[in-house]
Amino acid sequence: MIAIVLTIILFIIGIYFGSFFTLATYRLPKKENITHKHSYCPSCNHKLGLFDLIPIFSYIFLKGKCRYCKNKIGIRYFLFEILTGIVFVLFGLSLKITIYPLDIQKIAYLVIGILYFASLFIIAGINKEKDTIQKSVIYFGVFVSIIYIIYSCTLGSKNVYKYAIYLSFIITLIILDIVHLKKNLKNNETIQLIILILYMIIITGERLMLLTLVFTTLIMGIENIIKYFKYRKSSKVLINKEKRPIPLYICISNIILVIGMNFIQNYM
């Protein structure tokens, strides 16, 4: 019974986070406020009511349309909310959390993990839509890294010096990226990608990050093979010219592997 209640709670948290992720993905690149500005319909700009903001159910009750302008709402938002809820449930289950006795260490890791997944979901979403890594989310990642380092060195009893080195590298790269932006008036994608990888290493460790890169390469390779057989004659042109959303693939791969490794460690 307790497991069922925990699953429901995690799913509800997940779908609300999923709704927030779609909002953040839309607003952050436009430099709009994501916390204080009221939610609105992107088609008619009408402010949404309380019942319009209930994830999943509002989409079903309104039949996938805006209550005010009747324009269709993309089903991907509905599916993404469900997916986020499932991911949060799987993450909670992978930790094998028990209420009695209450494991403070696992609860703390669950909270940090949710914040970590939040950053990856938003980074992946913006990378897919705008082909860039949102700097403000990277800065949030630095904050999450600091929380995780404090957690690891207190409850986890891990060595702080390794984390301090990685964190100093991240801060140095952020400064270099700011300098590069001022000189060239554009972001350095390589620096941003390295910052993302270092952030993931701090939270998930070197081995899992290596597996993430291997898994990412595998996913991209399979996608290229599918496109090759789909387009045949034009595939080489498409594969060579189409820009690959590498941060998107890395984030997805890392989330899958983190949950998978947790299941292996806690159940097997």
Domains held by the chain: number: 1
Tell me whether residue 140 is in a domain: no
- pLDDT over threshold 90, residue 197: yes
Please indicate, yes or no, if residue 170 is contained in any of the structural domains.
no
pLDDT in tens, 30-65: 888 877 777 777 777 777 776 667 778 788 887 778
Q: What is the pLDDT of residues 125-176, one digit of tens each?
A: 999 888 888 889 999 999 999 999 988 888 766 778 888 899 999 999 989 8
Residue 238, pLDDT > 60, answer no
Contact at 8 Å (CB) between 250 and 213? Answer: yes
Q: Is the pLDDT of residue 186 over 90?
A: no
Q: Tens digit of pLDDT for each residue in 58-112?
A: 888 877 787 778 788 778 888 999 999 999 999 999 998 876 777 788 888 999 9
Residue 209 lies in a domain: no
Residue 223 has pLDDT above 70, yes or no: yes
Q: Does the pLDDT at position 248 exceed 80? A: yes
Q: 84: domain range?
A: 1-94
- Cβ-count burial 169-203 (b if 16+ within 10 Å, e if not): ebeebbeebeeeeeeeeeebeebbebbbbbbbbbb
Q: What pLDDT is attached to residue 104?
A: 83
| Dihedral sign (CA 240, 245, 247, 253) | negative
Which of 48-52, 116-120, 122-126 is least confident?
A: 48-52
Q: Is residue 145 within a helix (H) or strand (E), and if so which, with residue range?
A: helix 135-154
138 within some domain: no
Contacts of 173 by beta carbon, 8 Å cutoff, 6+ apart: 191, 194, 195, 198
Determine the distance from the C-alpha atom of residue 22 to the mean position of all C-alpha atoms in its chain, rounded to a whole number: 11
Query: Which secondary-structure segment (H or E) carries 245?
Result: none
pLDDT of residue 15: 93
d(CA 89, CA 97): 11
Smallest CA-to-CA distance from 167 within 155, 151, 149, 181 is with 149
Does 145 fall in a domain?
A: no
DSSP SS3 for 242: coil
| 216 burial level (CB within 10 Å; 0-12, 13-18, 19+) | buried
Distances (CA, A) of 62 to 54, 96, 135, 137, 251: 11, 37, 35, 32, 32
Contact 107, 97 (CB under 8 A): yes
Q: Does any domain span residue 222?
A: no
Question: Does pTM surpass 0.85?
Answer: yes
Element (H, E) at 239: helix 235-241
Confirm whether 51 is domain-assigned: yes
Question: pLDDT value at position 84?
Answer: 94
Predicted confidence at residue 162, as pLDDT, reads 86
Whether residue 237 is predicted with pLDDT greater than 60 in this model: the reply is no
pLDDT for 157 equals 65
Q: Is residue 265 part of a domain?
A: no
Structure tokens at 215: 């898994």
Average pLDDT estimate for 215-239: 74
Look at residue 250 in the predicted model and tell me its pLDDT: 96
pLDDT of residue 146: 92
- Is the per-residue pLDDT at 193 higher than 80? yes
Mean pLDDT calculated for residue range 187-216: 92
Q: Is the pLDDT of residue 121 over 80?
A: yes
